[in-house]
């Protein structure tokens, strides 16, 4: 039986190595950038139009009680899922080559970045534009402080606070307060 060739997007979503120069992916990135440009250009009073754009852009929105302040940036949008009562402050950036799942009642401070895209440390491999992606999962009742960076493959449990300026390089268990670069648990909640 002949094996069916998988698209670069299918490889990307499966966490396999894919070509970042694929025409379909580049086209989708362009379409998303156009939607993001429209969203970021709206007057803050145009909340209904903002909601319509976010509903068409993001893969899942838990309810109508979400706030994403402008400017917002993402690569594809469809791999992003946010729960109920989600709030993200200014300059929220998500590189969603893999799934990014964010639970209910999460608050994201300004200048937070979530990355799923991975690149080789070998310059020859990196320059080939072959990459892969690892998902990021954030539980319920999480507060991510300002200027936090969350790296690929991270899981942050429920009831977690990540201190401002942290770089999350390892998963953080539920009921924790974690800070620093690299981010580490400094207190466990009862």
Q: Which residues are tagged catalytic? A: 119
- 161 φψ region: left (φ > 0), alpha (ψ -120 to 50), beta (else): beta
Cβ burial, residue 48 (10 Å; 0-12/13-18/19+)? exposed
Closest by CA to 108, choosing from 151, 161, 60, is 161
- Beta-bridge partner residues of 161: 143, 177
Contact (Cβ atoms closer than 8 angstroms) between residue 33 and residue 72: no
The DSSP result for 49-66, as a single string, is HHHHHHHHHSSEES-S--
């Amino acid at each position: 039986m002949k094996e069916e060739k998988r698209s670069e997007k299918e490889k990307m979503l499966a966490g396999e190595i894919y070509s970042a120069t694929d025409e379909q992916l580049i086209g989708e990135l362009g379409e998303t950038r156009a939607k993001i440009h429209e969203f970021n250009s709206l007057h803050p009073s145009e909340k209904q139009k903002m909601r319509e754009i976010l509903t068409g852009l993001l893969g899942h929105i838990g309810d109508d009680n979400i706030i994403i302040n402008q400017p917002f940036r993402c690569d594809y949008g469809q791999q992003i899922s946010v729960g109920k009562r989600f709030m993200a402050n200014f300059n929220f950036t998500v590189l969603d080559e893999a799934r990014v799942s964010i639970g209910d009642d999460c608050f994201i401070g300004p200048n937070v970045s979530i990355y799923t895209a991975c690149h080789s440390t070998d310059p020859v491999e990196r320059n080939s534009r072959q990459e892969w992606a690892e998902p990021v999962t954030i539980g319920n009742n999480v507060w991510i402080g300002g200027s936090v960076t969350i790296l690929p493959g991270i899981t942050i449990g429920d009831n977690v606070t990540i201190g401002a300026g942290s770089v999350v390089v390892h998963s953080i268990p539920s009921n924790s307060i974690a800070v620093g670069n690299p981010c580490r648990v400094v207190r466990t909640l009862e």
